[in-house]
Amino acid sequence: MNWKRFNGESIQLPIVNAVEHTLIKEQEKGNHLKVCIGTDSQVKGLTTEFATVIVFLREHNGGFMFIHTEKTQKKFHIKERMLAEVTMSIEVAYQLCDLFIQYNVDMEVHMDINTNPQFKSNSALKDAMSYILGMGFVFKAKPDAFASSSCADKMVN
């Protein structure tokens, strides 16, 4: 996976190493971090574009994010696409969870799924919640899932 910073700068290290380096650097500065991981997607014609973000929140001091985007020609039904987003976020969270434990950093998985049954994405809510909780992660859904519904959303629009 190719990751980049918000300014477009490519991250040369494997993501696990880049995140560890970031955690060390931020803790040396005295910052207490929380990390939120989320994915959003956008269908554009025959292409579906996904953006996954790792959002680093500094307590009382702003934040920043790492971004990965990918495109596919695969056609998804809405529930399948929502679960694909969750799967992408979980894969990243799983790669990084040992680091977050080691450096005592709270982590949440954010899903761009509406809790309101009137929205189509809601059809994936129960499955996505079970998946995330089954992996042992804390999750947030809309409207509290800013990593997916705001940060990742900006990377695919």
- State the Cα–Cα distance between residues 65 and 55, nearest whole angstrom: 4
pLDDT beyond 80 at 157: no
The dihedrals phi and psi of 17, each to the nearest 5 degrees, come to -70, -40
Which pLDDT does position 109 carry in this prediction? Answer: 97
- State the Cα–Cα distance between residues 139 and 16, nearest whole angstrom: 21
pLDDT beyond 80 at 75: yes
Coil, strand or helix at 104: coil
The structural domain count of the chain equals 1
Which pLDDT does position 114 carry in this prediction? Answer: 87
User: Cβ distance 155 to 67 under 8 Å?
Assistant: yes
- Indicate which CATH number applies to the domain containing 69: 3.30.420
- What is the arithmetic mean of pLDDT over 87-116? 95
Instruction: Please count the residues of the chain.
Output: 157
Residue with tokens 């695919």: 156
**Which domain range does residue 22 map to?**
3-156
Round the average pLDDT of the chain to a whole number and report it: 94
How does pLDDT run across 2-24, given as a tens digit for each residue?
999 999 999 999 999 999 999 99
